[in-house]
Amino acid sequence: MSPSPKPRRPASSRAAAAGLLLLAALALLLGEAMRRGLYTTSDEPEHLKAARELAYGPGVVSNFEHPVVMKLLAAAALRPERPTPFVLETRDGRRAFPWLYAALVLVAGGWAARRSGAAAGLAVAATLAAEPTVRAHATLVQSDLLLTLFLTAAAAAVDLAGSAAGERRRFLLLGAGVAYGLGLASKYSALPFLAPFLAVAAVSLLGRRRQPKASRAARRKAPARVEGEGPPRARLVAAGKAVLLLVGLPSVVLAFAVQQAALSGTPLPELEAGIARKFEGLPEGETALAAAERLPRGAAAYVAGLLWVKASATPGARYNYFLGKVSGDGFLLYFPVALALKLTTATVLLLAGAALAAGAGLARGPAPRRRRLAPLLLRRSGVAAALGASYLAMAALSDVNIGVRHVLPCVPLFLVAAAGTLRTLLCRRRRLAAGLLLLAALLAAAEAFALRGREIPFGNLLAGGPPGIRKVLSDSNVEWGEAQQALFDRVDEGGLGRVGAVILSLDVEEAARHGIRQVDELDAQPLDTVVMSVHLHDLGLALADNTESYRNVAWLRGWLVPLVLGVKERATSVEPLGDSYLVYRLRPSS
């Protein structure tokens, strides 16, 4: 007798899978456009230098402020000889990142579909493909996309493990450990987040797995202990052990293995010399060098990176701009407000509406309904919401407020949570829930399309568009060097005379080819025109009112404020050059 054929997946499931693949392909195409269209941004030269050292030089001897995955991905795409201009090197190094962006769209959409239905999955995937801020930063040689992808994958695996059992549960938990390990090897902020991640994972395993009817009938005849039953304390201990052994331990081991493999070709003297250069004048340098002497090279480089991040994240180490003010201390509301203004309007309203509706649903209404609603909300949205809120809270307590990109992991987590919330609250009106999610995605795409080409300085309708975002945010939220080609083209048109640039992330070599000189003192050279980035313009005006005594803040205030005010005083006219630059025509110096 021939074996019975395997059951086929429903047509709706196949259609949803095809839709997710199409959206991932769309994200890849959009990411490719970003990879090719954006000029070299502020941090990418250092990252690419480290990637070239890894691929064709002495190994990992610089850029310790990031683990190695970003460097490995960029290094794999670099040519043996560096091309000219440098932006070609940048675009080479970015090659892998649009593919990882497409993977993020697929993972988040698949997770939402599994938890809340096909429409929810398609809506989440479409929204991630549309969001300008996510799309722009996801295709750069940066670690933000990497952590977002791996944290989302780990969260999805942990969430699905909560409703699985046996080998499937262990496989999912181990998958979460692998994904989180790659996150640890991508960005150092994954390390302090490991504890809350494991705590949420352990709690998610405490819920009882839904049993098939036959099993429930069997239990009525002969009660037996099943997975998820037992005293609460014993269940919590068991869940904690499972999470530590299958998620925590593998993640740390994998991160160490990746680091060690990447540094296997780096001679110890070169590593120590690189650490000494990086930490010159810093007290953390002695600890970093001691670690290099005693630990394997991969672990030593990781310790050096953690020490560097610690040193550069202390109060006063950064210039944080928020609501027209600058401070060396962080602003508690910076990241929540940044998300509210840098995501599309429809996405912000969807996330806020879902959160308010969930709170109202749990606080009001008949008690039986609330008791029924709570476990459903937890199952569909609990893990994503808890992890997103935890990551946002961790970032809000930081003294580093230099861009919404640092909380990109919150975006897919909150989207999955919002989809689960609508699916639960509108359980009897599923078409309405699906319609709202898809409408939000469509409106997000429409707003993104209307502001295409302005992805880095994007501001939603609540912010007043890209011009309005400058009233609240600066740094990589408004100008990051991505529009330098427009500057070079404008200078080539002529009519500007001798041009100086007040731009933090200027490609100095390419600027010199176009006759542009970098300026940090106005009277040091004769100039007819100064092109100033809106980032430094707004920062300089805000620093004029700053009285903090932090060394770095005082240093920046000492030269930037006179420069900005001097340019404005000598200017006979000013005109914008896109969203990124201001072109000042100067009268001759007296």
Of 397, 429, 451, which residue constitutes the final position of a domain?
Answer: 451
If we measure between CA atoms, which residue out of 29, 12, 185 comes closest to residue 98? 29
Does the residue 325 lie in any domain?
yes
* Residue 446 and residue 553 in one domain: no
Within this chain, do residues 444 and 325 fall inside the same structural domain, yes or no?
Answer: yes
Residue 204 lies in a domain: yes
Query: Of the residues 405, 435, 451, which one is the last residue of a structural domain?
Result: 451
**CA distance linking residue 116 with residue 384, whole number of Å:** 12
Locate tokens 């939220």: which residue? 477
Burial 358-394 (b: 16+ CB within 10 A, else e): beebeeeeeeeeeeebeebbbbbbbbbbbbbbbbbee
The pLDDT of residue 252 is 98
Q: Are residues 447 and 521 in the same domain?
A: no
Total tally of structural domains belonging to the chain: 2
* C-alpha to C-alpha distance for 378 and 399, rounded to whole angstroms: 32
Tens digit of each residue's pLDDT (9 = 90 or more) over 125-148: 999 999 999 999 999 999 999 999
- Let me know whether 514 and 443 are in one domain: no
- pLDDT recorded at residue 524: 73
The residues pairing with 320 across neighbouring beta strands, listed in sequence order, are: 327
From residue 35, how far is each of 39, 102, 136, 169, 581 by CA, in Å?
Answer: 9, 13, 8, 38, 21
Query: Taking a C-beta distance cutoff of 8 angstroms, is the pair 460, 342 a contact?
Result: yes
Asked if 240 and 361 sit in the same domain, the reply is: yes
466 in a structural domain: no
Residues 408 and 304 in one domain: yes
What tokens appear for 361 in the block? 């649903």
Q: Which helix (H) or strand (E) holds 111?
A: helix 97-116
Q: What is the pLDDT of residue 229?
A: 57
pLDDT at 233: 80
Name residues of the chain where pLDDT drops below 50.
1, 208-227
**Tens digit of pLDDT for each residue in 464-476?**
999 999 999 999 9
d(C-alpha 94, C-alpha 31), whole Å: 10
String of b and e for 343-357 (b: at least 16 CB within 10 Å)? bbbbbbbbbeebbeb
Residue 1 falls inside a structural domain: no
Same domain, 552 and 447: no
Quote the pLDDT of residue 225. Answer: 38
* Domain membership of residue 515 as a residue range: 483-585
Of 552, 140, 156, 152, the residue nearest 320 (C-alpha):
552
Beta strands across the sheet bearing 581-586: 516-518, 499-502, 529-533, 581-586, 571-577
- Domain termination residue (choose one: 435, 451, 467): 451
Burial class (CB in 10 A: 0-12, 13-18, 19+), 286: exposed
User: Is the domain of 190 the same as that of 79?
Assistant: yes
| Residue 470 within a domain | no
CA distance 155 to 566: 51
Contacts of 12 (CB under 8 A, 6+ apart): 118
Residue-level pLDDT at 234: 84
Name 577's bridge partners: 581
- Domain membership of residue 403 (yes or no) is yes
Tell me, yes or no, whether 35 lies in a domain.
yes
Are 288 and 210 in a shared domain? yes
The one-letter amino acid code at 176 reads A
User: Does the residue 438 lie in any domain?
Assistant: yes
Residue 488 tokens, joined: 């070079």
Q: Are residues 221 and 172 in the same domain?
A: yes
Does 517 lie in the same domain as 380?
no
pLDDT of residue 192: 97
**Per-residue pLDDT, 210:** 46
Examine the domain organization and report whether 512 and 400 are in the same domain.
Answer: no
